[in-house]
C-alpha cells in the first residue's frame, strides 16, 4: 500500500478541465467542503497507482457528480438517474477487459436506483460502487434522501425526518453485506485526515478486487454537503462525526474477496454477422431498408373509426413502418368510451425532423372507417390533404380535398373475416401514397404482418390478401 502523501494533480485528471463550460478550467465545480472533490482526488490517485486509468470507465450519476467526466481522463458516461449499475453491467459484460466505477449519490443509489443497484450487487458484477452518502439531495438543493437522519431538517422535511412518516434511514452497507455475491463492503468517512486515509485504503481495496476480477465491491463514503446542510465545512465534519457515524458506523461489513471463487461469465461475441442477424431477426421489420428520402415534409395522419375495427393497430402499423425507415414517428391513441364501441381514433406523425407534438389537429391524411369519424375529423383536413375512407360504411363526402375510397368492410367480409378491413385500408393507403411519400410500402407491410401474426400463419396470408385487394380496389373520387 502506497502511504506517501502526494501533492498536485494526479495524472488521471485532465491537466486543464476543457470539458467544463465557462471560463473556469482549473477548478472543479464542487462547493468548498464537499466530499465529492475529496473522493475524486482519491479515485484519480488510485487509478494511476493501480494502473487502471486506460481501461477505466467512470459512470457519473445524476446528482452533483454528474459532471465527473469534466475531470477524469478516463472513459466516462453520464447516465439517467439511478441507472449507473445497469450501464456499468452492460459495459463490463460487453467488454470484460474494461474496468468500471459506478459512482452514485444517496438519492441516486438509495431512492430512484435502489433496485438497479441491489440487482447488480446480487449478481456480483465485477465493478466498484463508490456510494457518496451526504444524507441529502445535493444537486437539487437539499431534499430529503433515503439516508437523511431522523430529525434532520431538509427542504422536504422542514420539521425533521420522522420515523412515523418516512421510516428509518437506509443502511445500505448492512443490506448489501447480507447478500451472497458481494465480496467487499466497507463504510468510511471523508472527514478527518485519519478517516480520509482509511477511505483511501478502502477505495484501493475495492479497485484491486475489480482489477483482479474478483467481483462486486461497495464502499460507502459518509460525506458533507455544507451548502444544503447550512453549515460551515468544520461544522459539517463535526456533524458527520457526532450524528452520522453513530447511526452509520464505520468499518468493514464484509470481506471475502480472497476466499471466494469469482463468478465466471461467458465471453461476449463480436462476430459482426451474428450481431446483425440477432438484431434483424428480433426486429423483423428493420430489414425494410434505408432512411426514406422521399418523405419531404411532416405527415400528420388521423386514423378514426369504431372501437374494434383495428383503428389503433392501423395507426401503430403506419408508425412502425415509418420508424423502420429511420423516420421520427409518434403514435397517440384516444381511449375512453371508444373502447366500448364508440369512435376510436389515433394520431400518427411521421417526420424527418423532430416532432413537436404528437397531437394531430391539422391533418394531412385522414383515414376514416365510419360516418361519425368522417363528420368529426374531415373539417381538420388541410388544403391539399388526402381523405381515404371505407365506402362500405360512409356516404361520399362533399369536399375539395383529394379523396380515395375503398369498400374495406365489404372486401374483408368477402375474404371471410371483417377484422381484416384495416389491412384492406392499408393496401388502399399504400396505393394513395404510391410514388408520393413512402416507397417499398408493400414489402414493409408484409414483414410487419408476418411479425405480428407469427404464431397464426393463416392470418398472415389473409391479411396479405386483404392488403392486395385494398391496393387494387381503391378508387379515386376527385383527383
Ligand X SMILES: Cc1ncc(C[n+]2csc(CCOP(=O)(O)OP(=O)(O)O)c2C)c(N)n1
List interacting residues with ligand X (CB under 6 A): 62-65, 80-81, 105-108, 112, 132, 134, 136-140, 145
Out of 30, 67, 248, 445, name the contact with ligand SF4 by CB under 6 A. 30
CA 20 to chain centre: 25
| Distance between CA atoms of residues 125 and 117, nearest Å | 10
Please report the sign of the dihedral spanned by the C-alpha atoms of residue 384, residue 385, residue 391, residue 396: negative
Quick one: 10 or 142, whose CB is closer to ligand X?
142
Q: Counting contacts by CB under 6 A, is residue 189 touching ligand SF4?
A: no
Q: Counting contacts by CB under 6 A, is residue 138 touching ligand SF4?
A: yes
Give the alpha-carbon dihedral of 111, 116, 122, 125, to 10 degrees: -130
Quick one: 243 or 450, whose CB is closer to Mg ion?
243
Q: How far is CA 443 from CA 255, 285, 324, 414, 429, in A?
A: 59, 9, 12, 24, 14
Query: In this structure, what C-alpha cell is assigned to residue 389?
Result: 375512407
Out of 134, 292, 347, 391, name the contact with ligand SF4 by CB under 6 A. 134
Query: In this structure, what C-alpha cell is assigned to residue 349?
Result: 406523425
Q: Which of ligand SF4, Mg ion, ligand X, none does 62 bind, CB closer than 5 to 8 A by kind?
A: ligand X
Q: Counting contacts by CB under 6 A, is residue 222 touching ligand SF4?
A: no
Contacts of the segment 381-388: beta carbons below 8 A, 24+ positions apart: 386/432, 388/425, 388/428, 388/429, 388/432, 388/474
- Site residues (CB under 6 A) for ligand SF4, limited to 51-90: 64
Helices 441-452 + 457-473 axis angle, to 10: 150
Q: Is 77 helix (H, G, I), strand (E, B) or coil?
A: strand
Q: Which of ligand X, ligand SF4, Mg ion, none does 140 bind, CB closer than 5 to 8 A by kind?
A: ligand X
Nearest approach in angstroms of CB 224 to ligand SF4 is 7
Quick one: 182 or 226, whose CB is closer to ligand SF4?
226
Q: Which of Mg ion, ligand X, ligand SF4, none does 108 bind, CB closer than 5 to 8 A by kind?
A: ligand X
Stretch that binds ligand SF4, among 223-231, 380-388, 446-454, 460-468 (CB under 6 A): 223-231
Nearest approach in angstroms of CB 47 to ligand X is 20
Q: Where are the beta strands (DSSP E) in 106-174?
A: 128-133
Stretch that binds Mg ion, among 129-137, 161-169, 193-201, 413-421 (CB under 5 A): 129-137
Residue nearest to ligand SF4 (CB): 138
Helices marked H in 289-440: 311-324, 371-377, 408-414, 421-433
Asked if 152 contacts 163 with a C-beta cutoff of 8 angstroms, the reply is no
Q: Counting contacts by CB under 5 A, is residue 106 touching Mg ion?
A: yes
DSSP for residue 108:
I
C-beta atoms surrounding 241 within 10 Å? 15
- Site residues (CB under 5 A) for Mg ion, limited to 136-165: 138
Q: Counting contacts by CB under 5 A, is residue 220 touching Mg ion?
A: no
Q: Which of Mg ion, ligand X, ligand SF4, none does 34 bind, CB closer than 5 to 8 A by kind?
A: ligand SF4
Asked if 91 contacts 98 with a C-beta cutoff of 8 angstroms, the reply is yes
Q: Counting contacts by CB under 6 A, is residue 104 touching ligand SF4?
A: no
User: Which chain residues interact with ligand SF4 by CB under 6 A?
Assistant: 30-31, 34, 36, 64, 134, 138-139, 225-228
User: Which chain residues interact with Mg ion by CB under 5 A?
Assistant: 105-106, 134, 138
Amino acid at each position: 500500500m502506497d502511504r506517501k502523501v502526494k501533492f498536485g494533480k494526479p495524472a488521471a485528471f485532465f491537466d486543464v478541465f476543457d470539458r467544463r463550460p465557462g471560463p473556469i478550467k482549473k477548478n472543479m465545480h464542487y462547493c468548498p467542503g464537499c466530499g465529492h472533490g475529496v473522493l475524486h482526488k482519491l479515485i484519480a490517485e488510485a487509478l494511476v497507482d493501480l494502473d487502471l486509468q486506460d481501461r477505466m470507465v467512470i459512470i457519473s450519476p445524476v446528482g452533483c457528480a454528474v459532471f465527473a467526466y469534466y475531470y477524469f481522463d478516463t472513459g466516462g458516461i453520464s447516465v439517467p438517474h439511478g441507472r449507473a449499475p445497469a450501464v456499468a453491467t452492460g459495459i463490463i459484460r460487453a467488454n470484460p477487459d474494461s474496468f468500471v466505477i459506478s459512482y452514485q449519490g444517496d438519492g441516486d443509489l438509495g431512492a430512484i436506483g435502489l433496485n438497479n443497484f441491489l440487482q447488480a450487487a446480487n449478481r456480483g458484477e465485477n465493478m466498484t460502487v463508490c456510494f457518496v452518502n451526504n444524507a441529502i439531495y445535493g444537486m437539487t438543493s437539499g431534499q430529503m434522501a433515503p439516508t437523511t437522519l431522523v430529525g434532520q431538517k431538509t427542504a422536504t422535511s422542514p420539521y425533521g425526518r420522522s420515523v412515523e412518516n418516512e421510516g428509518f434511514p437506509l443502511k445500505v452497507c448492512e443490506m448489501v453485506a447480507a447478500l451472497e455475491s458481494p465480496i467487499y463492503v466497507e463504510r468510511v468517512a471523508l472527514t478527518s485526515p485519519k478517516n480520509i486515509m482509511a477511505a483511501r485504503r478502502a477505495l484501493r481495496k475495492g479497485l484491486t478486487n475489480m482489477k483482479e476480477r474478483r467481483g462486486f465491491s461497495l464502499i460507502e463514503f459518509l460525506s458533507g454537503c455544507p451548502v444544503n446542510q447550512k453549515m460551515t465545512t468544520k461544522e459539517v465534519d463535526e456533524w458527520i462525526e457526532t450524528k452520522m457515524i453513530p447511526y452509520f458506523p464505520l468499518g468493514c461489513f464484509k470481506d471475502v474477496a480472497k476466499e471466494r471463487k469469482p463468478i465466471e461469465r461467458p465471453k461476449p461475441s463480436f462476430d459482426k454477422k451474428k450481431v446483425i442477424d440477432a438484431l434483424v431477426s428480433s426486429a423483423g421489420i428493420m430489414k425494410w431498408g434505408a432512411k426514406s428520402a422521399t418523405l419531404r415534409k411532416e405527415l400528420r395522419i388521423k386514423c378514426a373509426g369504431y372501437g374494434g375495427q383495428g383503428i389503433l393497430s392501423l395507426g401503430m402499423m403506419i408508425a412502425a413502418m415509418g420508424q423502420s425507415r429511420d423516420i421520427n414517428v409518434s403514435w397517440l391513441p384516444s381511449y375512453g368510451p371508444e373502447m366500448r364501441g364508440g369512435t376510436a381514433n389515433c394520431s400518427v406523425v411521421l417526420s424527418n425532423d423532430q416532432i413537436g407534438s404528437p397531437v394531430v389537429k391539422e391533418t394531412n391524411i385522414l383515414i376514416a372507417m365510419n360516418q361519425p369519424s368522417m363528420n368529426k375529423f374531415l373539417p381538420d383536413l388541410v388544403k391539399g390533404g388526402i381523405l381515404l375512407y371505407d365506402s362500405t360504411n360512409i356516404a361520399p363526402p362533399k369536399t375539395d380535398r383529394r379523396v380515395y375510397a375503398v369498400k374495406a368492410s365489404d372486401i374483408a367480409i368477402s375474404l371471410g373475416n371483417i377484422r381484416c378491413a384495416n389491412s384492406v385500408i392499408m393496401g388502399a393507403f399504400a396505393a394513395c401514397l404510391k410514388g408520393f411519400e413512402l416507397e417499398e410500402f408493400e414489402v414493409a407491410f408484409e414483414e410487419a404482418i408476418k411479425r405480428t401474426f407469427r404464431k397464426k400463419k393463416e392470418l398472415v396470408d389473409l391479411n396479405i390478401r386483404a392488403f392486395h385487394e385494398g391496393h387494387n380496389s381503391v378508387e379515386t373520387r376527385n383527383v
